[in-house]
Amino acid sequence: MRDAGHVDATLTMMARWRLDALSARLPSIGLPVLFIVGDDDRAVPASVSVAEARRMPRAEVAHMPGLGHLCHEEAPEATCRIIEAFLSRAGV
């Protein structure tokens, strides 16, 4: 957030995203998928990830209470534990 150039570039990138085609294909993604969401995310509310995960046959949502959009940076060790548990369940 302190680097205005980085913020501008990120916002420009996101403004150009066209996600309709990906969204339409979500039900056909049969691989295990993990959404890790910070429950206090103000950029992408957890409810968005929960709704999209419900459209996928093998998707899971892991909630990180009290954390925001960068939950993986706020709690990297906890994030790693979530990923490791998911990979173990998925047989990877």
pLDDT tens, position by position, for the chain (92 residues)? 577 777 778 778 767 778 788 889 999 999 999 999 999 999 899 999 999 999 999 999 999 999 999 999 999 999 999 999 999 999 87
CA atoms within a 13 Å half-sphere pointing along the CA-CB vector of 6? 3
CATH topology of domain 4-90: Rossmann fold (3.40.50)
At a CB cut-off of 8 Å and minimum separation 6, what does 86 contact? 32, 34, 60, 62
Q: Residue 17: what pLDDT?
A: 75
